[in-house]
Chains A and B, each alone.
Chain A
């Protein structure tokens, strides 16, 4: 493999690994905050137990999320030194502010975990609020850099020299608002569905006391409400992101939708394979006028196609599939969660029949796949550029040798940690069954 491909694969797999832990860290801290608030208003100790067990989950996840985030941060300098050179000149601010968010998150998380019994309940909720705020803010800030890579602003490039730098203008680039909310909403969504999966699995497996059933149902209900709300929210932020692409990065939208010819009444192609010879998507389902309507708000709207751009600036055409998988999973999750909630409120006697639980069990895995494909689409859809229309990925990559060896080391590490973290989670929650928690709360 040549060095550029190797650098991309190494950095890409590091990111793909890190975002699993980072996303769940962002989402779980948010859900812990919600559980604490629900407990404050209902005075139901089960929500305190939920918060406590999710907090343990966060603590284990962070054991991997923090060092893997450190890896990604440092590895960006190692694999794409050319990119970092531009970043340091133009878009260093969000990285710097992100450190601030990390500190807030780390300090308050320790306080929330290790000093909770010494704090007033208000102070405890304030602590967990800052944990969630720090986690979400770091997601927003890192997305800021990725949005800038799509819509670079705040500098002029004259003969390969960067001049007239305006750091805040770079931060406030046009893609920022819509990408940031989409990332945050989908992180909450992914986590809610992972929690739904676990809850549904436990209820389905049975062999639970009435107390445990009641506990798991509360957890599942809370996660379903958050899941449904964030799934709908993510759909709307995703739509805004697509409109943003239409305005600012049309080539990416064209590749995502497999649209070759610039046209009004552009059709929406679902699945299928974009074929540059045929100038259309082959084997997909076409909904006439739908793409124009989605991107511009009217079926008359003109959507720019790939043929407007030189061939060497096209992203790989398989991003169409990634995009479809992401949107498909998002739609499925809206249907699942809204459907489950409707069922719950219409048939109160048996709120969670086995077939419904069975349908909910794989939703967490789907959500993770949707999150991953979304990120991969965001990064591959920007190719061949690292910084859109400014710097090609090939020019940003390291010239260093030894990458192959390092690649093998990191991939083995990631596989090992994925397996071990799952085992540790399982082991911990088996050894500390719910009954222990129930006894602790009744004895207090």
Chain B
């Protein structure tokens, strides 16, 4: 396999890990706000119980993605840097407000409500804004004058596919986070909270799927080549759809521990669904990073750096994985922690 494909697969993996982690993270922040004043449920507590130890680790995955992209594909960093300065700056500002206000809200009880609303809403907007980058880099929204790139903001703001992508970002994070938190609540034997989040997951699953389809269909006028490439990956998309159907139905399977549903099965299969779909999407994207300007072959770093980075990441992951497993046990399995805020 060509080095560029190995490198872009690693980038895909890091992006995928952050997409799932980030969606759960920002979604949980939203639920912590949504349930804040509800006295009848502990749903907000569970969201915070998950968020407090994990948000920093999740954020490192974002930095991991950015750094790996700039390392393996310096050419892409150059092109995306000039092109994406406005949307990326907005994401960064939102991200900063979100993290800072979330930490403030844990420290200043008097203003918790206001601070949590600010962090909840800014957090909700982040994945939505990040998703707008996807249609922008595959074509139709960029004009090149001389050697300067311009995003055509008027076109972006009036494009249906951009809004479909925003909708997909919003519904994905709400679906993934409520699904994940329902499993978290079940792990802590909190049946009421489980039911609460299960209800939200049941609601947002089909909404997410509709936005995914809408985002693809509305791409046609902007980037027909992409849709055609995606059609060629129909097996993977079909498998992804299959994983979703089984995973979603698992929420209705009988169970011995809770009234109804097998949330752990659902979580695993839905992650498989996202993995398959995002891999198929990424494959259809190839060989372009920014269409039609930059391919992975032009953007790749030199061979020596490629090899050092590859080995660096392999060694790093080998050391980190046991650490992550320990982390998981301490904060997502240990009953002493997950039942501490009931």
Bitwise, B86-110 to A at CB < 8 A (1) or not (0) is: 1011001101111110111011111
CB of B238 closer than 8 Å to a CB of A: no
CB atoms of B103 and A100 under 8 A apart: no
Binds A, one of B37-45, B160-168, B267-275, B327-335: B327-335
Q: Which residue of B lies closest to A59 (CB)?
A: B103
Binds A, one of B77-85, B201-209, B221-229: B77-85
CB of B337 closer than 8 Å to a CB of A: yes
Q: Which residue of A lies closest to B76 (CB)?
A: A88
CB of B244 closer than 8 Å to a CB of A: no
CB atoms of A424 and B108 under 8 A apart: yes
Residues in B21-79 with C-beta less than 8 Å from chain A: 52-54, 56-57, 59-60, 62-64, 66-68, 70-75, 77-79
Task: Compute how far the CA of A106 lies from the CA of B99 in the bound complex, rounded to whole angstroms.
Answer: 14
Residues in A387-444 with C-beta less than 8 Å from chain B: 398-403, 406, 409-410, 413, 417, 420-421, 424, 427-428, 431
Q: Which residues of A contact B334 (CB under 8 A)?
A: 115, 118
CB atoms of A107 and B104 under 8 A apart: no
Q: Which residues of B contact A428 (CB under 8 A)?
A: 107-108
Are A114 and B337 also in contact (CB < 8 A) when A409-B93, A427-B108 are? yes
| Chain A binding surface, main DSSP class | helix
CB atoms of A93 and B103 under 8 A apart: no
Bitwise, B205-237 to A at CB < 8 A (1) or not (0) is: 000000000000000000000000000000000
Q: Which residues of A contact B339 (CB under 8 A)?
A: none
A-side interface residues, number (CB < 8 Å): 69
CB atoms of B92 and A398 under 8 A apart: no
CB of B308 closer than 8 Å to a CB of A: yes
In the assembled complex, the CB of A152 is this many whole angstroms from the nearest CB of chain B, namely 15
CB atoms of A409 and B89 under 8 A apart: yes
Residues in A226-275 with C-beta less than 8 Å from chain B: none
In the assembled complex, the CB of B268 is this many whole angstroms from the nearest CB of chain A, namely 23
CB of B323 closer than 8 Å to a CB of A: yes
CB of A12 closer than 8 Å to a CB of B: no
CB of A356 closer than 8 Å to a CB of B: no
Question: When A and B form their complex, what is the total count of cross-chain residue pairs whose Cβ atoms lie within 8 Å?
Answer: 220
Task: Compute how far the CA of A100 lies from the CA of B57 in the bound complex, rounded to whole angstroms.
Answer: 11
CB atoms of B327 and A96 under 8 A apart: no
CB atoms of A87 and B323 under 8 A apart: no
Q: Which residues of B contact A98 (CB under 8 A)?
A: 67
CB of A89 closer than 8 Å to a CB of B: yes
Q: Which residues of A contact B253 (CB under 8 A)?
A: none
Task: Compute how far the CA of A394 lies from the CA of B79 in the bound complex, rounded to whole angstroms.
Answer: 17
CB of B1 closer than 8 Å to a CB of A: no
Q: Which residues of A contact B320 (CB under 8 A)?
A: 100, 103
CB atoms of A100 and B330 under 8 A apart: no
CB atoms of A417 and B100 under 8 A apart: yes
Neighbour of A78 across the interface among B57, B62, B89, B312, CB < 8 A: B89
Are A63 and B102 also in contact (CB < 8 A) when A70-B95, A92-B70, A95-B71 are? yes
A residues lining the B interface (CB < 8 Å): 56, 59-60, 62-64, 66-71, 73-75, 77-79, 81-82, 84-90, 92-93, 95-100, 102-104, 106-107, 109-111, 113-115, 118, 162, 165-168, 398-403, 406, 409-410, 413, 417, 420-421, 424, 427-428, 431
14 contacts between A and B (CB under 8 A): A60-B103, A64-B99, A64-B100, A70-B62, A70-B66, A75-B92, A84-B77, A85-B74, A89-B301, A104-B323, A165-B302, A166-B304, A400-B83, A427-B107
B residues lining the A interface (CB < 8 Å): 52-54, 56-57, 59-60, 62-64, 66-68, 70-75, 77-86, 88-89, 92-93, 95-100, 102-104, 106-110, 147-150, 301-302, 304-305, 308-309, 312-313, 316, 319-320, 323-324, 326-327, 330-331, 334, 336-337
10 further A-B pairs in the complex, CB-CB below 8 A; given A59-B103, A92-B308, A166-B304: A56-B107, A66-B99, A70-B95, A78-B82, A95-B70, A96-B68, A110-B57, A118-B330, A167-B308, A420-B100
